[in-house]
Amino acid sequence: MTGPASDTRFSGAVPKAYETLIVPLLFEPYAADLADRVVALAPASVLEIAAGTGVVTRAMASRLPAAASIVATDLNPPMLAEAAALGTSRPVEWRPADAMALPFGDATYDAVVCQFGVMFFPDKPKAFSEARRVLRPGGTFLFNAWTGLRDNELAHAVQGTLASVFPEDPPRFLERVPHGYDERGRIERDVALAGLTARRVDLLTLRSRARSARDAALAFCLGTPLRNEIESRDPSRLDAAIAAAASAIAARFGSGEVDAKMQAHVVAASTS
């Protein structure tokens, strides 16, 4: 399903909020896992696609040997600018790039890595084919993708309350994009269409933690393209959406610290 252009727009205030709010809430635990899987491959060269503000990039930079090169790319230059400003423990090459038309030669990298980016690709088999093209023989494409909303408790709570703010046209970014590519069978078919073999598909359940329900609500409503979707309906209702999301999260997890389930598929696909 093709959604609005705002689904892939990470610009304006979103990159900073993404890094400070949503990264620690959702992405850091999975970044550590993905980086450890990359290290186990012992690659000499790594390409990261849809790198965002660099949470996986930083994890890889701190774990991989200095001799292993890392190129990190993203479709949105503002996200890469935020990543570059934060920096890494050793040099990384930052380059804007479209995952469906990678500006790299054939058989260039030992590993291609993508954390929670594949859901945004309009043509997933095409993007996966690009990953295969730039991989060396025997190389590995590592990526993860969220499972459905019901397995991801905070996103489910936020999505469920948006209809109270916009009853005639609720924003559906969360169910349409981040949690809209959740079927293992579909993922494996798309991988196969790209000429790759899904060697391993793990279902990984981790915990999502926030200091308060409001912090979690701010992360979703300000640090993702959900903000674009809310403001496209009525910018004056952004605060109401945050308040409603915070109320829904507090009703489920209490008024103190939040500890919620989150779940994703982690896929390792190879060129042979």
Q: How confident is the model at residue 9 (pLDDT cuts 50, 70, 90)?
A: low
- Identify which of 268, 258, 143 has the alpha carbon closest to the alpha carbon of residue 198: 268
Question: How high is the pLDDT of residue 2?
Answer: 43
Q: Determine contact, residues 126/101, Cβ cutoff 8 Å.
A: no
Pairing status of strand 197-210 against strand 135-146: unpaired
Whether 196 has a pLDDT exceeding 50, the answer reads yes
The chain-wide mean pLDDT, for the chain, equals 94
Question: Rounded mean pLDDT of 194-216?
Answer: 97
Question: How high is the pLDDT of residue 13?
Answer: 78
Phi, psi of 12 (to 5 degrees): 60, -125
Question: How high is the pLDDT of residue 272?
Answer: 77
pLDDT digits (tens, 9 = 90+) for 12-38: 778 899 999 999 999 999 999 999 999
d(CA 103, CA 124): 17
Q: Determine contact, residues 207/261, Cβ cutoff 8 Å.
A: yes
Question: Rounded mean pLDDT of 125-132?
Answer: 98
Q: How confident is the model at residue 1 (pLDDT cuts 50, 70, 90)?
A: very low
- What is the pTM (predicted TM-score) of this model? 0.94
Look up the CATH architecture of domain 5-270.
3-Layer(aba) Sandwich (3.40)
Question: How high is the pLDDT of residue 7?
Answer: 63
167: how many CB neighbours lie within 10 A of its CB?
Answer: 8
Question: Rounded mean pLDDT of 220-249?
Answer: 95
The number of residues in the chain equals 272
DSSP string, the chain: ----GGGG---TTHHHHIIIIIIIIIIHHHHHHHHHHHHHH--SEEEESS-TTSHHHHHHHHHS-TTSEEEEEES-HHHHHHHHHH--SS--EEEE--TTS--S-TT-EEEEEEES-GGG-SSHHHHHHHHHHHEEEEEEEEEEEE--GGGSHHHHHHHHHHHHHSTTS---HHHHTTTS---HHHHHHHHHHTT-EEEEEEEEEEEEEESSHHHHHHHHHHSSTHHHHHHHH-GGGHHHHHHHHHHHHHHHH-SS-EEEEEEEEEEEEE--
Question: Rounded mean pLDDT of 218-232?
Answer: 94
What residue segments make up the domains of the chain, in order of their start?
5-270
Whether 164 has a pLDDT exceeding 80, the answer reads yes
- Return the amino acid letter for 70: I
Whether 8 has a pLDDT exceeding 80, the answer reads no
